[in-house]
Structure 1
């Protein structure tokens, strides 16, 4: 009988391979996208969302695979926002069973730690798996997402206006209700003293589980024609794979997509409505080298 592993174990080896393909380092999303293309993953997997968080399940699982590989010393944890192979990681090729043993090893270590990291036990696999909603800085900030989802539609549009202003957009305004034709606001993105773009944006304050569709992206592009050079769609949820393809379709104006994860990153970067705190966590992989 074939051993059943936790779902996220299947991404350990593809994650290492993707990083090697990218020259040993890369951004989280480009690494996940490389895995998806290399394995030709179907939209059913790529569009799946976590029931509790509403975040993308595939990206979340890849991020948890990364966390275990960091603990194991195969990925470098020192550079924020970039995943990088260590010298040991560069030469490591894992089978699914070897990846599973890494999970078993670190779940035992984490059980001995103070209760500042949350794990849940599953009867099927008889191991502890991190709660999908309690990740590191790579995962969706559920508190912030819940706050954004609780805003009124008008309030969400206005807070999106503020985060765009803080992100170097100028003359940002929210359109008046009625007759906006699918446009929630507009502004100007200044590239340099000689070049600037008029930008329009649309806000989708969606609850978890709702996904922005391809048709909605197409409708927004149609609303953009003759009004702006750039379009931005902002949501507290996710975009379907078909929506992403439509936004980047050859021969059509590109639409910039900001999903819940990227929106959180924007708020964190400009510290809008957030108070920054510094938390130090013990790097057990580092200290294990001195035992």
Structure 2
């Protein structure tokens, strides 16, 4: 029998009815009771949990979806549907919005903002992305940075130095501006082979993500370590260093009148 809904659609329907936080087990039970989805996996609750986490704001990992539908309460390990509080309660002609709504809207804004920045990076041409990565390293204190000429790159897009104590470590970097696909171990091994013996460290940038095998073999005993930086991490670094990003501090006022009246 073909399922009428996807797992995510089924979870959204359950949460839209309850209008509150629910555990994975509770969501799973409701999905079964209302015949919204038939699981064929050996561990259906783990499958459901993985889908919910992938589409939840504030939970980021390489394979997480860019589409966010849920809010996750880490302390209670429960999920709720986003947007339930966006319908402001009208009172005396004014909209009353709770602090949790403001926070939720902020989380959503940040996720959309991050996605927009990453999409812009994916729209750069390869040379522009190499220059971007070089300038990002400069913001983190690297010196003598340069982008390699294409005819002489030898598998290296750029290089520079980073001061460690009293000495300088020679570093090479590789940049893959990919819109689809993930960077596999063979790409990391090829880059390491190109820098072995001449550089003390490698940095591999991509607007995409890395396979698990690539991440497991980025650090190998007796070989040059290769630091892996995916698209989400690039955006994190941009935000941390205010690199190509500006921010505005908006005050959030919290009622504390009870503290002076008690």
TM range (shorter): 0.5 to 0.7
TM-score (norm: length of structure 1): 0.56
Structure 1 residues 1-291: aligned runs within 5 Å: 5=11, 56-58=62-64, 67-69=71-73, 89=75, 99-100=78-79, 103=80, 107-112=83-88, 135=108, 137=110, 141-192=114-165, 194-207=166-179, 209-279=180-250
SS of 1:216's partner is helix
Offset of residue 135 of structure 1: 3.4
SS of 2:162's partner is strand
Would you say the 8 A contact 1:140–1:260 is kept in 2?
A: no
In structure 1, what is the Cα distance between the partners aligned to 2:159 and 2:188? 17
Cα deviation per residue 1:37-65 (whole Å; 9 max; x = unaligned)? xxxx99xx79xx98xxxx8343879x987
Unaligned runs of 5+ in 1: 13-40, 70-74, 76-88, 117-129, 287-291
In structure 2, what is the Cα distance between the partners aligned to 1:142 and 1:190? 33
Would you say the 8 A contact 1:170–1:189 is kept in 2?
A: yes
SS of 2:164's partner is strand
Would you say the 8 A contact 1:156–1:205 is kept in 2?
A: yes
Would you say the 8 A contact 2:62–2:210 is kept in 1?
A: no
In structure 1, what is the Cα distance between the partners aligned to 2:137 and 2:253? 36
Offset of residue 140 of structure 1: 7.1
TM-score (norm: length of structure 2): 0.62
1:5 to 1:250, Cα distance in 2 relative to 1, 3 A: farther
Would you say the 8 A contact 1:230–1:253 is kept in 2?
A: yes
SS of 1:242's partner is helix
Unaligned runs of 5+ in 2: 1-9, 16-21, 26-45, 56-60, 90-94, 98-103, 257-262
Offset of residue 278 of structure 1: 2.5
Count of aligned pairs between the two proteins: 201
Would you say the 8 A contact 2:162–2:170 is kept in 1?
A: yes
Would you say the 8 A contact 2:118–2:231 is kept in 1?
A: yes
1:242 to 1:173, Cα distance in 2 relative to 1, 3 A: same
Cα deviation per residue 1:215-261 (whole Å; 9 max; x = unaligned)? 10111111111120000000111111111012134443321011111
In structure 1, what is the Cα distance between the partners aligned to 2:195 and 2:188? 11
In structure 2, what is the Cα distance between the partners aligned to 1:235 and 1:11? 33
1:110 to 1:251, Cα distance in 2 relative to 1, 3 A: farther
